[in-house]
Structure 1
Amino acid sequence: MTNNYIHPTPGLPGRLLARLANSRRIATARRAVFSRLPFLTLESDVRDVVYLTWMMDAADAQAMVPVGVRLWQRNGLTPFSILTYRHGHFGPALAGPARRLMPSPLQSNWRFYLEEPGKVYFVRNIMDSALHALGTRMFSDILPTHLPGRFVHAREGEGYFTSIEPGAGSAPLLEARTRANSQRVLPPDLAGAFANWDEAVAFLACQHMAVIEVPGLGRMVESAISLPIPLDEALPLVAESVNCPMAGAGAGTPFCFAVPRVRFRVLSESLAAS
Structure 2
Amino acid sequence: MLVVLLTVLALTVSVGSAVWAAEHSLRRTRQQTEFGRYAPWIHASGRSAAPLNWAANSRLLRALCESIPSVAFVSDVTDVVYVNYLVDADRIAPLIPPGLDLQRIGESGDRAMLTFLTYHHGHLGPALLGRWRRLLPSPLQSNWRVYVHHSRTNVSGVYFLSTVIDRTPSPPA
Letter in 2 for 1:43: V
Corresponding position of 2:99: 68
Q: Which structure has the higher relative contact order (CA within 8 Å, separation 6+)?
A: 1
- Secondary structure of the residue aligned to 1:112 is strand
For 2:94 and 2:114, how far apart are their aligned partners in 1?
Answer: 13
The residue number in structure 2 matching 1:128 is 166
| TM-score between the two structures when normalised by the length of structure 2 | 0.62
Query: Matched residues in 1 for 2:148 and 2:96: separation?
Result: 11
Query: Which one-letter code corresponds to 1:70 in the other structure?
Result: D
Q: 1:14 to 1:43 in 2, by over 3 A?
A: closer
Does 2:139 align with 1:108?
no
Query: Which of 48, 57, 60 matches 2:79?
Result: 48
**SS of residue in 1 equivalent to 2:84:** strand
- What SS does the aligned partner of 1:62 have? helix
Residue equivalent to 1:4: 40
Query: Which consecutive unaligned segments of at least 5 residues does structure 2 have?
Result: 1-32, 150-154
- Name the CA distance, whole Å, in 2 between partners of 1:18 and 1:61: 28
Q: Cα gap change, 1:97/1:5 in structure 2, threshold over 3 Å: closer, same or farther?
A: closer
- SS of the residue corresponding to residue 45 of structure 1 reads coil
Which one has a larger percent helix, Structure 1 or Structure 2? 2
Give the alignment's Cα RMSD to 1 decimal. 2.4
Separation in structure 1 between the aligned mates of residue 50 and residue 121 of structure 2, nearest angstrom: 28
| CA apart distance, 1:71 | 2.3
Letter in 2 for 1:57: D
* Number of equivalent positions: 126
**1:19-65 CA-partner distances (Å, limit 9, x unpaired):** 22211121122224x0xx3x211111101111232212212222101
Deviations 1:49-107 (A, max 9, x none): 11232212212222101112122221211111111110112112233333323321111
Shift in alpha-carbon separation, 1:99–1:80, aligned structure 2, 3 A: same
Q: Which residue of the partner structure matches residue 24 of structure 1? A: 59
Task: Give the SS at the match of 1:54.
Answer: strand
Q: Tell me, which stretches of 5 or more residues in structure 1 are unaligned? A: 133-274
Which structure has the bigger radius of gyration? 2
1:99 is aligned, of 133, 137, 140, to 133
